[in-house]
């Protein structure tokens, strides 16, 4: 497939997150350039960016490879997001625009409709858009960048179970929007913290188990001398 050079980083990241490019696999510039229909220059730049984000590592004699995160690294990232999302909601209560509120309320309305209809896949997408919009409403570029990167990496490391009671989830979203609309930063922070803690319990690691080590034979080499 041919994509714009500026989109190569996004395309490689998406393929890593979706599992098309598996953890530990080598990322050869020439092969990636052919895959995305670009020269090696944007591929090389994309790999540098993805290495700074933690999706790619450089290994001696192997070059760029997809990173292989540990369970502890995944847990740390999930905890970090749980700390930052309430901060984003608090700032959104202070800095949101009417346009942000319109989008958030529209997403809550759609979420409730889909929850009543049992449309699980739509709910997953709507939930992602809700939290992305809430983060954008914080009007904090540094926080937006951090949370965006965290969401990409958490989506790579975890599978998320659908909530047993989706209407309850969207009621929590609605309460957060009400607090943001009123400019109540502390309530928005507290509600988002409770929501983040509850949803974190639905995350299940999908990091593959470590590769088996190469076994070395313990049998001694036959070094018997040749008889005369």
Q: Which CATH architecture has domain 71-205?
A: Up-down Bundle (1.20)
Equal CATH topology for 5-66 and 71-205: no
Q: Regarding the domain delimited by 5-66, which CATH topology (the fold level of the hierarchy) does it fall under? A: Arc Repressor Mutant, subunit A (1.10.10)
Residue 225, classed as helix, strand or coil, is coil
**Residue 139: left if φ>0, alpha if ψ -120 to 50, beta else—which one?**
left
* Helix, strand, coil % in the chain, rounded to nearest 5: 65, 5, 30
Picking from 11-15, 20-24, 58-62, which range would have the lowest pLDDT averaged per residue?
A: 58-62
**CA-closest candidate to residue 24, choices 77, 68, 75, 83:** 68
Domain boundaries, the chain: 5-66, 71-205
> How far is residue 55's CA from residue 72's CA, in Å, rounded to a whole number?
16
**114-162: per-residue pLDDT in tens?**
988 876 667 888 999 999 999 999 999 999 999 999 999 999 999 888 7
- What was the pLDDT predicted at 11? 95
Local structure of residue 60 (DSSP, 8 states): T
Percentage of the chain exceeding pLDDT 90 = 76
Span 17-32, mean pLDDT?
Answer: 94
Q: At what angle do helices 71-95 and 166-182 cross, to 10 degrees?
A: 40
Taking the whole predicted model, whether its pTM rises above 0.85 is answered as no
- Could you report the per-residue pLDDT of 48-106, keeping only the tens digit for each? 999 999 999 998 888 999 999 999 999 999 999 999 999 999 999 999 999 999 999 99
Work out the number of other CB atoms within 10 angstroms of the CB of residue 139.
Answer: 16
């Amino acid at each position: 497939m041919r994509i714009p050079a500026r989109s190569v980083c996004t395309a490689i990241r998406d393929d890593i997150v979706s599992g098309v490019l598996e953890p530990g696999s080598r990322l050869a510039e020439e092969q990636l350039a052919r895959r995305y229909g670009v020269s090696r220059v944007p591929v090389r730049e994309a790999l540098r960016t993805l290495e700074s984000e933690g999706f790619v590592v450089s290994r001696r004699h192997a070059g760029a490879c997809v990173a292989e995160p540990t369970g502890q690294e995944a847990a740390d990232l999930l905890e970090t997001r749980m700390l930052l999302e309430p901060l984003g909601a608090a700032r959104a209560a202070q800095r949101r625009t009417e346009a942000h509120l319109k989008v958030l309320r529209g997403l809550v309305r759609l979420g409730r409709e889909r929850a009543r209809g049992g449309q699980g896949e739509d709910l997953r997408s709507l939930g992602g858009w809700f939290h992305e919009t809430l983060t954008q409403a914080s009007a904090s570029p540094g926080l937006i960048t951090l949370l965006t990167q965290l969401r990409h990496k958490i989506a790579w490391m975890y599978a998320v179970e659908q909530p047993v009671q989706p209407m309850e989830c969207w009621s929590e979203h609605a309460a957060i929007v009400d607090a943001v609309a009123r400019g109540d930063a502390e309530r928005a922070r507290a509600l988002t913290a409770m929501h983040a803690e509850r949803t974190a319990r639905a995350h299940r690691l999908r990091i593959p188990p470590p590769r088996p080590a190469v076994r070395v034979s313990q049998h001694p080499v036959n070094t018997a001398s040749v008889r005369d």
